[in-house]
Structure 1
């Protein structure tokens, strides 16, 4: 029968370590521990709980979110170089670089236990899928609003469709407001991104209602304002992509993102000290 202890009193583990040393082998750690600041830089979520074991073993999916196509879409909304059509030319990028990439990122964030990025990326990815489906004739979403009942392009330009579709942007604006409040636990860059995304959806809803009422000039200004806001948000997204990729590969120097977690921790610690110092009242 095998024994865990050899005749000279050495355990099997000790014997194996000596054998590895003799062969010139060294033990290499297979996991890393991130600080709270590094965790929030990489995963865009506050470290309010213990770091997930999977986060130490699998890659970080968060940078995938910022490999987006918002930049060309924003140029289209601002009508640069004669661009137009409110993004119809970007059906392919909307589906694959927008919806599909965000859906994959959301699933991966769910697997490693990052709830906030999972909800954010999944919601925005679902929006891009819905936005693309509305403009694809096979889904027959806008065609019933046309006079013939079969023309998708005419349906997209009809007053009834615009007045109805604007409510989708209002709903997305409410979600961006919720995400904006939650992002104040993470960093300044992320918070500013949601602020501009909130402006994007508010301006788009205003644009659709203005165009639906026949106010073409006001509607076009709102569309261009939404494009400008999306342009700023996309630039900040590229900045976060650079920060995260530099952090992943250890490329110095580390760029600032305006960490807000220390602010919340400081206020929480202050509140805890006040609770301890406050004398108990007897009723």
Structure 2
């Protein structure tokens, strides 16, 4: 090929792949897992052992949210990536607490003071309450829907932690009730992200005043 012919060759440009919105996957996964566990926390149908949520926590709340978080990184959404990845890790770690093979519950059962397991779980929940509150602050420049979601989740973690610290069934059930509310807010936010202008209708997430954003 001559120099003249070489100069006419147009370099191949890689085809840009447009990513879909991973938000609905993360929100629906979070909402469904939270809804199931919260029903157990309020003793729905007399259920007081939450271990059935383990599979849901690993594959839906955990794996699906973790994947949504990774895809949010690809879209450039730092908030969504951090939030989904964090709560994916939360559900995976929470499921580990309930898996007999992990030995975590057995270690407390064999200790001189088995009741300290509740305090340990309360500390675990307190840490996530702090993380959730920080996410809530970040939502104050995003949308009202997300702010309501993270506010409700902060209160849910707080009530569950206090319930475990105080060994109070009523406070723990209150945390479960708030968790149900949180789940439905997450369902709403997920649907708002899923519906586009191409659909029959859309629902608002609510925007803050532009002077505040």
Q: In which range does the TM-score fall when normalised by the shorter chain? A: 0.7 to 0.9
For 2:64 and 2:26, locate their aligned partners in 1 and report how far apart those are by CA, in whole Å.
7
Are 1:177 and 1:195, in contact at CA under 8 Å, matched by a contact in 2? yes
Give the CA deviation at 1:4: 10
Whether the 8 Å CA contact 1:185–1:261 is kept in 2: the answer is no
Instruction: Structure 1: give runs of 5+ residues left out of the alignment.
Output: 6-52, 150-154, 212-218, 266-283
Q: TM-score, normalised by structure 1?
A: 0.66
CA distance in 1 between counterparts of 2:211 and 2:182 reads 24
Aligned residue among 250, 253, 262 for 2:210: 262
Match of 2:39 among 75, 83, 90: 75
User: How far has the Cα of 1:58 moved from its partner?
Assistant: 1.2
Residue 223 of structure 1 is matched in structure 2 by 172
Give the TM-score normalised by structure 2. Answer: 0.86
Residues 160 and 176 of structure 2 are in contact (CA less than 8 Å); yes or no, is this contact kept in structure 1? Answer: no
Shift of 1:252: 3.4
Gaps in structure 2 of 5+ consecutive residues: 9-15
5 Å-filtered alignment, 1:104-119, equals: 104-119=67-82
**3-state SS of 2:210 partner:** helix
C-alpha distance in 2 between matches for 1:75 and 1:3: 69
User: What is the aligned counterpart of 1:203 among 159, 162, 177?
Assistant: 159
The aligned residue for residue 98 of structure 2 is 135
For the pair 1:186 / 2:134, whether they are aligned, the reply is no
Greater RCO, 1 or 2 (C-alpha within 8 Å, sep 6+): 2
Alignment partners' CA distance in 2, 1:210 and 1:184: 32
The SS at the match of 1:122 is helix
Work out the CA distance in 1 between the residues paired with 2:27 and 2:83.
Answer: 12
- SS for the counterpart of 2:205 is coil
Give, in whole Å, the separation in 2 of the partners of 1:142 and 1:3: 70
Counterpart-to-counterpart distance in 1, 2:94 and 2:106: 15
Residue in 2 that maps onto 1:242: 191
Counterparts in 2 of 1:130 and 1:3: CA distance versus 1, 3 Å: closer
Q: Retained in 2: the 8 A contact 1:109–1:115?
A: yes
The structure 2 residue matched to 1:144, chosen from 92, 101, 107, is: 107
Question: Could you tell me which of 92, 97, 120 is aligned with 1:164?
Answer: 120
Quick check: 2:123–2:161 contact (8 Å CA) kept in 1? yes
User: For 1:19-168, what aligned pairs fall within 5 Å after superposition?
Assistant: 57-68=18-29, 69=32, 70-85=34-49, 87-147=50-110, 158-168=114-124
Aligned residues: 202
Root-mean-square deviation (CA, aligned residues, Å) is: 2.5
Residue number in structure 2 paired with 1:271: none
Q: Deviations over 1:5-63 (max 9, x none)?
A: 9xxxxxxxxxxxxxxxxxxxxxxxxxxxxxxxxxxxxxxxxxxxxxxx86xx1111111
